[in-house]
A and B are shown apart, each in its own frame.
Chain A
Amino acid sequence: MQMVNETGWKPKIVAFCCNWCSYAGADLAGSGRLSYPADIKIIRVPCSCRVNPLFILRAFERGADGVILCGCHPGDCHYTSGNYYARRRMTMLFSMLDYLGIERGRTRVEWVSAAEGAKFSATMNDFAKTITELGENRKLGDLRCKK
């Protein structure tokens, strides 16, 4: 299944998943054959707190249309506090992107546990839907490369 809008354009989505919960949740979605669009590619990080705003901006710069970060639920971080830091950092970053006039839906944080394969799949479907509706990322992209 791939999300395609009317013009045949397909979104490009990067998902950062923490190794302990969300990446395992994605594996569980896989073993449960719970599909989500192939447009979503997962990058494994040890913890949501490893995700630097630079990575997210870089993804957009290089043509991503949406970036989602998944981590353990607050309170369940494998490293006890990583996702709390990630939560603050991402809140700040997303707020700044909003302030710069970037569409709000392009970034998202979701907490997905290792047991939530269904939630992982549902979240990814929903996010892909949002990004497809938002269309191509023009505001954040590297315009030069796209020409």
Chain B
Amino acid sequence: MQLMNEGTVARVVGWEKGEGECDWTPALFESVQEMDGFVYGDYAGANLSKYCVKMNKAEGKTLVVLKPCDTLSFRQLIHEHRLNRDNFYLIGAGCKGMKDESGLLLKCKTCKGKDFEIFDEIIDDEESKQPTAIMDRMEGVTALENETAQERFDFWRNELSRCIRCNACRNVCPACTCEKCVFDNPASSVASKAPVTDFEENVFHIIRAFHVAGRCTDCGECSRVCPQHIPLHLLNRKFIKDMNELYGEYQAGVGEEERTPMTTYTKTDAEPSIVRERGNA
């Protein structure tokens, strides 16, 4: 607030209370008065990085509050030239694990750590440095991998057939920042607003996961916002797990390297036939 008074920042991206007690939503505050509505705490689960893309060209600096995992998305967006670091003032906010009405968020149960990848200032306390992970991040993926192909097929048919193509996953995803999504572009030959065939939602979700592969920081927003509760993060994590195993450990949004595993290669990479040779058929 002081920064806004001093004119250092022109606006703040944060959270405000929504309709329900546990429903806090991202909000833009453009004056000191508006800041009264600013909240931070147990229900500030939303990742604000994506909202910054719109602010990137705004006049003056924008202050953004980022949780540790959000900073990965922010850094990744810098790598992709979607954000200009100089246009933002970043407050790293300590996180004790975020919740919704049913308790700890899934992404916090598999928390990736409490380090801030990028920040101007950190506000946290000892408690928010404690790890909140209570399960292995890849648990769900491994469990599915261990099932039979038919079981997997049935699982995903059941999940993906519920998709209503509301595009919430796409709209919230910090890696989905295309000016125009290929599925919205009538000139692309693959445009589809709503699924006409049983397979189209499959295509949409496979391709979406493929498009963000290597850039997805596993922030878990897609699953969090899905009104049909489809575990979309299991698709992204599958790619992350495969890339880690085949091409070396990689976390999008960490460090200065702008190349992702999908934009590089080694001469001794595994052949695609490795898929046929491993795991449950």
Instruction: Please report A residues at the B interface, Cβ cutoff 8 Å.
Output: 53-54, 57-58, 60-61, 74-75, 81, 84-85, 87-105, 107-109, 139-145
* Chain A residue at smallest Cβ distance from B239: A92
User: Least Cβ distance of B171 to chain A in Å?
Assistant: 21
Asked whether A54 and B207 contact (CB < 8 A) given A81-B265, A92-B213, the answer is yes
Count, A-B residue pairs, CB within 8 A: 119
Taking a contact as CB atoms closer than 8 A, the residue among B157, B202, B209, B281 that contacts A104 in the complex is: B281
Alpha-carbon distance A98/B147, docked complex (angstroms): 11
User: Hey, which chain A residues are within 8 Å of B136, CB to CB?
Assistant: none
Decide yes or no whether B151 CB sits under 8 A from chain A: yes
Decide yes or no whether B102 CB sits under 8 A from chain A: no
User: Hey, which chain B residues are within 8 Å of A142, CB to CB?
Assistant: 197-199
Q: Chain B 123-154 against A: per-residue CB contact (8 Å), 1 yes, 0 no?
A: 00000000000000000000011000111111
User: Hey, which chain B residues are within 8 Å of A85, CB to CB?
Assistant: 265
| B271 close to A109 (CB less than 8 A) | yes
User: Hey, which chain A residues are within 8 Å of B276, CB to CB?
Assistant: 104-105
Enumerate the 3 nearest inter-chain pairs by beta-carbon distance, A residue then B residue, closest first: A101-B153, A101-B152, A84-B265
User: Hey, which chain B residues are within 8 Å of A102, CB to CB?
Assistant: 149, 153
Interface set, chain B 141-193, CB cutoff 8 A to A: 144-145, 149-157, 182, 190
| A99 close to B210 (CB less than 8 A) | no
| A91 close to B152 (CB less than 8 A) | no
Segment of B6-14, B26-34, B44-52, B242-250 in the binding face: B242-250
